[in-house]
A and B are shown apart, each in its own frame.
Chain A
């Protein structure tokens, strides 16, 4: 593999020379600087610990829910579920994303300055300290409130403070990455900025705006209340603030996967990026439409007018559009490449794709799984149809397709070049084969687990519920049979996690030393110039804020205006 990579790097270097005359350190560009690699890897190590522990929790959940297994030592099911949700939904994702994004900025905008790198390290340690604080409180059974921490269930204040630090740390890290991109723009006035860095900045901007809601919830509501400074809390306001962040959270997970699909995959298959401008357009659409849609998670809640819910349902459908664009761009990239290799017929180009290359194959499976995932998501968001599935195990089935497969498999596929690139090792043939096996195990396990979750959910089975026979109700025994299937699928998934971690350990410490490419696709040479308006963040921030005000100011005003007596805290676990 290394010879091919060396060749590719040569052509890459030439391109870089043309693209960026401002930088003389062309070679540093190609390879992420050692010191930057260290920050990136630090994030990835934490992510992998979260994957292992969260995976163990997931295995325990499916076993308990099968009805055949009881947790020992007084461990509670919901304690385990809190571990699973926090570690996999929040920590694995955020840390892996930051590891990837730091490397991506360093690779495409250039090595970080000492100051930028320091900012990234401060962000890392803040997030890690916060993670440790929250985890300890969960382990002490002081915070079995699940990763959505809905009031008036009240966790220990240290749990909330820990989560605050994770968010604040993520702001710091986001700043470190953005500063490097801004520096590039200053040094290369009038030029279109590197696509991957641009996308990183989009994701961070969206994340920053979205987390303002949840940060306000924690700082102004949950922390004072759990510290005993105030007695009561406005429940609906806290939920609405939480969900103003919650949907953007899922796009924060998804956009790095899109970055890999748009930019890395074309390079791996030897093709070109389908369209620079369309890629940027779809990211801008995500920035604008991912946040003012949170009410679609509150469709069955009292206290919010139906018309306002419907308005946000309309905005939710808008955020589907960039995914439609993405689907076309990806297939087009594949088809153009296959045809360039001489493929004939309608679908002959499919045969030309490098199916044996885990760096392509594993994310490709992720893309496929996004088709049922996305279809389910549209159903969830369809206003009154939400009653079919709200809070049923269907929802769990849905996001194990979108996050736990589409995003996770894309990250796994990316780890196969990112980790060795950063550790100075190589992704060997044997590991490549294992990676492919790993992804197949994952998809089989997930198909079993997720489809039985979808079906049981349509039959009314609730999510976030330990095993129960519901007083011997007939329907509950039907649900239980699907839970056996979930245990089978979940066990396969756990094996998948172990396989991946084995590969990861190899890539960190044991695989042969060498150079692994950080693949960055190029735009077709005769492409049109990207309209400068797409890089005008000031404009997009104005549009975003306007939409946020339209979607949220009246509902929030109304919630505060008509607030009932607030709630005291409860610890019911």
Chain B
């Protein structure tokens, strides 16, 4: 098939850009560990309240792990438990969340923390919270009549 000379240049540029995008995202993912939330743990969603760590929602300091804090969140129609998460700035935090009923979202406005919460699955995301501020957490997956009233707050504070 004959391709016009300029069309060849264009395809080289276009396909080249796509390859660069893939290389950058791929290196970020497989070298720097920056994957979107893809945890594979499952849970009995009807017994979430009895199963650790969800039997104790909230922010906990942990030792001997790759991260300093665990922020444990239980979502159900139409609220998050706990309603406020407070972590010190600079801490490496693992967010661990699940749903007790339907599918919910967990989107922290102004950050990259954005994960789906599905009944039966545990969603996880690890990040270093490096900017002080109050970040609104919203449910960003339609879950019923109270969907837009479902929110909480992430407070990144300066402990000094």
Q: Which A residues fall within an 8 A CB radius of B?
A: 76, 78, 146, 150, 152-153, 235-236, 239, 277-278, 281, 298-306, 309-310, 313-314, 317, 320-321, 324-325, 328, 332, 378, 382-388, 390-392, 459-468, 470-471, 473-476, 528, 531, 562-567, 570, 572-573
Contact = CB atoms under 8 A, between A and B. Distances in A.
A562 B144 contact: no
A383 B105 contact: no
Contact of B15 (A300, A310, A324): A324
Contact of A304 (B15, B38, B142): B38
Most chain A CB inside 10 Å of its own CB: which residue of B36, B112, B134, B139: B36
26 contacts: A300-B36, A302-B41, A302-B115, A302-B117, A302-B122, A303-B40, A306-B35, A310-B30, A313-B22, A317-B21, A324-B10, A325-B11, A328-B7, A332-B7, A382-B21, A460-B107, A464-B141, A473-B153, A474-B134, A563-B42, A564-B44, A567-B102, A570-B77, A570-B101, A572-B102, A573-B145
B10 to A, nearest CB: 5
Contacts of A310: 25-26, 29-30
A305 B35 CA distance: 10
A239 B41 CA distance: 17
B136 A388 contact: no
Given A302-B121, A459-B110, A567-B119, A475 B136 contact: yes
A332 B4 contact: yes
A153 B25 contact: no
Sort A-B residue pairs by CB-CB distance and give the 4 closest, nearest first.
A460-B109, A572-B144, A564-B120, A462-B140
A473 B151 contact: yes
B15 A236 contact: no
Interface residues of B, number: 70
A309 B38 contact: yes
Contacts of A467: 148
Nearest to B46: A565
Interface of B: 1-4, 6-7, 10-11, 14-15, 18, 21-22, 25-26, 28-30, 34-46, 77, 101-103, 105, 107-124, 134, 136, 138-149, 151, 153
Most chain A CB inside 10 Å of its own CB: which residue of B4, B39, B40, B138: B138
Contact of B140 (A391, A471, A476): A391
Given A460-B111, A564-B45, 13 more contacts: A152-B119, A235-B119, A301-B116, A302-B124, A304-B40, A321-B14, A378-B18, A382-B25, A460-B108, A465-B148, A473-B153, A566-B120, A570-B77
Contact of B144 (A390, A392, A475, A570): A570
B121 A146 contact: no
Contacts, number: 222
A301 B123 CA distance: 8
A564 B100 CA distance: 13
Nearest to A299: B36
Contacts of B43: 564
B25 A313 contact: yes
A505 B141 CA distance: 39
Contacts of B134: 473-474
Contacts of B18: 317, 320-321, 378
A12 B115 CA distance: 56
A391 B105 contact: yes
A152 B11 CA distance: 44
B114 A387 contact: yes
A31 to B, nearest CB: 34
Contact of A300 (B1, B40, B114, B145): B114
B115 A300 contact: yes
Given A153-B102, A153-B144, A306 B29 contact: yes
A300 B123 CA distance: 9
Contacts of A473: 134, 136, 151, 153
B36 A384 contact: yes
Contacts of B136: 460, 470, 473, 475-476
Given A384-B28, A384-B29, A468-B149, A475 B1 contact: no
B138 A462 contact: yes
A230 to B, nearest CB: 16
B121 A153 contact: no
A470 B138 contact: yes
Most chain A CB inside 10 Å of its own CB: which residue of B43, B108, B136: B136
B25 A572 contact: no
A385 B38 CA distance: 14
Nearest to A154: B102
A476 B107 CA distance: 13
Contacts of A328: 4, 6-7, 10-11
A390 B114 contact: yes
B83 to A, nearest CB: 9
Nearest to B127: A387
A23 to B, nearest CB: 29
Most chain B CB inside 10 Å of its own CB: which residue of A281, A328, A388, A475: A328
A107 to B, nearest CB: 27
A306 B107 CA distance: 19
Contacts of B1: 277-278, 281, 528, 531
B35 to A, nearest CB: 4
A462 B105 contact: yes
A306 B139 contact: no
Contact of A303 (B7, B101, B121, B140): B121
Contact of B141 (A391, A475, A531): A391
Contacts of B112: 384, 387-388
A241 to B, nearest CB: 15
A237 B34 CA distance: 25
Contacts of B121: 236, 301-303, 564
A465 B114 CA distance: 16
Contact of A76 (B36, B115, B145): B145
A277 B34 CA distance: 41
A573 B102 CA distance: 12
A391 B14 CA distance: 28
Contact of A302 (B10, B40, B108, B113): B40
Nearest to B119: A567
Nearest to B25: A383
A471 B44 CA distance: 31
Contacts of A572: 77, 101-102, 143-146
B104 to A, nearest CB: 11
A528 B143 contact: no
Given A235-B103, A301-B116, A464 B109 contact: no
Nearest to B110: A460
